[in-house]
A and B are shown apart, each in its own frame.
Chain A
Amino acid sequence: DIQMTQSPSSLSASVGDRVTITCRASQDINNYLNWYQQKPGKAPELLIYDASNLQTGVPSRFSGSGSGTDFTFTISSLQPEDIATYYCQQYDNLFPMYTFGQGTKLEIK
């Protein structure tokens, strides 16, 4: 099984800050890496697919990068409405199998 390690598990930042979350895979997953936002009491929402593509309708302050085993999710200027838990998700096409990272809970300082 491919293991995903997401860090940090929690993060406190101020409005306007640049925020970065990382996800590391235990083996090469090409660019099969997606990012989701889950606000309290709500279903997850897709933000970034295939490592760096912005889902339609998602604000441009969100971005993703990386390939192989190391991936980064960035919020360029944190807004109050960005308070949520963020998850990475990888896809293993050999099985298929979908694995989520442990999540990063983002709070406003």
Chain B
Amino acid sequence: EVQLVQSGAEVKKPGESLKISCKGSGYSFTSYWIGWVRQMPGKGLEWMGIIFPGDSDTRYSPSLQGQVTISVDKSSSTAYLQWDSLKASDTAMYYCARRTSSWFDYWGQGTLVTVSP
């Protein structure tokens, strides 16, 4: 069974760093791109970026380039999304999702990130 399991909810202060994770299982982790999708409170879905675990090829949404870093650890089948300095506007639910062709067929359960003074 394909599963993407994300790390738990985080509460951080502005300026702090954070790294959240997404662990894949039940399929060949290095053969499928993993994307990250943001959903701000009460808002729609926004694609942030995507990584190919096989060779760490990474692409970012132009609107978010430089604001986050996507990485992967093949040995643990885990993808990561990290911030060096959080802002209140980073408060959102973050989902990882497996890409097959042009669609996202399996999704993690989401990680809620709250940034508050």
* Residues of chain A whose beta carbon lies under 8 Å from any beta carbon of chain B: 1, 32, 34, 36, 38, 43-46, 49-50, 55, 85, 87, 89, 91, 93, 95-103
Contacts and interface: CB of A to CB of B under 8 A. Distances in A.
Interface of B: 35, 37, 44-47, 50, 59, 61-62, 95, 97, 101-105, 107-110
Contacts of A36: 45, 104
Given A43-B95, A43-B110, A96-B50, A50 B103 contact: yes
B44 A100 contact: yes
9 tightest A-B CB contacts, nearest first: A91-B102, A98-B47, A34-B103, A43-B107, A100-B45, A49-B103, A103-B44, A32-B102, A46-B105
A93 B99 CA distance: 13
A11 to B, nearest CB: 15
Contacts of B108: 43
Contacts of B105: 46, 49, 55
Given A44-B95, A97-B61, A89 B103 contact: yes
B102 A87 contact: no
Given A98-B50, A102-B44, 4 more contacts: A43-B107, A43-B108, A46-B104, A49-B102
B103 A46 contact: yes
A89 B108 CA distance: 18
Contacts of B61: 97
Contacts of B97: 44
A87 B107 contact: no
B103 A87 contact: no
Contacts of A95: 59
B105 to A, nearest CB: 5
A36 B50 CA distance: 18
